[in-house]
Amino acid sequence: MRADEETLIPQPFGPLQGIRILSTGTLMAQPYAVTLAAEMGAEVIQIERAVVGDAAWRTLEFPMPCDDGTRVAAAWVQTRRNSFHVTLDLSTPEGKELFLGLVAKADIWMESSIPGTYEEWGLDDATVLAANPKIVIAHVSGYGQFGHPDYMGRASYDFIGQAFGGLMNLTGFPDPEPPVKATPWTGDFITGLFCIWSSLAGYISAQRTGQGQVIDLAQYEAIHHTLAGTMVAYYEQGLVRERSGNKAGMFQPYDAFQASDGWVVIGAVGTVYDRVCRVLGLNPNEEKWRSAYGNVESPEGIEFDAILRGWVGERPVKEVVAAMNAAEVACSPIMTAKDMAEDPHYQARNIHIEWEDLCLNRKVKGTGIIPKFSATPGGVWRGSVSLGYDNDLVYKRLLSLSDARLLELQSQGVI
């Protein structure tokens, strides 16, 4: 966004104010990146397909009825705040022209599609960079923009990215139990996080050098990057890491435990193990219990685990959590949505807030702004909107289109 150009946001706020981002992706991964930016004050213009929009994600998860007879998903209400929504058919010559007009006024463009899609529409990277040499282009796809020809063009979703990226092989309990995907949509959200940080890194570089660039983000690679030492262990030691459930494997306790009325997790690393022993009435200096810490599958290790599980099982969750934390042992209940809504720490930190959603035409409550900035906090200035809600505002203000031209483009199905 040029320094002399006013933002579309009514009252600028946040650390990213003054940055304009175009988004043409669908579903979750790439649009989640711009949602994070919009919550921190960036001006985000989300382009949806004319007439149909992002139909799947608008209604996919826990849909609720709107006043106009349509339905909107809970996830859409949560993840589409603060964005300006326009419609545009990029495959038409008129749509291409309008898009390049928006590109000229933007700092970042993010998209998610099968490689080659935009080239077919005459919107290859060279054309986009010619329209704005400083723009940062972020391509998000399942397998990347180049690679082995057998993989180019394959479709990918959250589930697929977790499988191909290696996460799913590590999530769940050992064979013969099946691998388990991380939820909800964890692979997509990981990809979105990689998309926003890399796009902002590219933006910083463009501000310094005056030159934009292209980012190639493969979903499976973003997921793969979070596997810690899995690949070093394989290449250097020949180890193939497998599923181990909730246990750490090399020490204890580090697992989920069933209390009399729910579940807790307890984690003790190093000398914290001694504190767990004392809570259980065991002498941490006794050789038997010293051995149990690191020899999880030994007779001593199995006995310690049984004692701890028996102790937890005889008590309600609140008592277990209180006793362990009083002893400075990390312990938490496994929280449900109800638990989180009622928890005093969530409330003290104002994690859940209300905002006005324009699809539902009423106030809604959900997760607020994370993280918290001291000087330039993020915020929610409006909720999700209906398809094409901001067509007039964006096309008139940024491209100076007249009412007659807008009606003409609408009748042609371009917007």
Q: Which residues share a beta bridge with 217?
A: 140
Question: Do 348 and 276 touch, CB atoms closer than 8 A?
Answer: no
DSSP secondary structure letters along 387-401: TTTTHHHHHHHHH--
Q: Which residues share a beta bridge with 216?
A: 139
Q: Which residues share a beta bridge with 215?
A: 138
Query: Which residue has 């050098």 as its token pair?
Result: 209
SS3 state at 171: coil
Can you tell me the distance from the alpha carbon of 266 to that of 253, in angstroms, rounded to the nearest whole number?
A: 6
Q: Is 188 a catalytic residue?
A: yes
The two tokens of residue 261 are 């009325």
Question: Do 223 and 161 touch, CB atoms closer than 8 A?
Answer: yes
State the Cα angle at 129 between 126 and 134, rounded to 5°.
150
Question: Do 385 and 8 touch, CB atoms closer than 8 A?
Answer: no
Q: Which of 144, 110, 87 is nearest to 20 (CA)?
A: 110
The two tokens of residue 75 are 């996830």
Q: Tell me which amino acid residue 91 is.
A: S
Q: Tell me which amino acid residue 192 is.
A: G
* DSSP 8-class letter at 227: S
**Given the residues 54, 188, 274, 390, the one annotated as active site:** 188
* DSSP 8-class letter at 169: G
Q: Which of 246, 324, 312, 263 is nearest to 304 (CA)?
A: 312
Helix, strand and coil content of the chain, in percent to the nearest 5, comes to: 40, 15, 45
The two tokens of residue 161 are 């990215």
Active site residues: 188
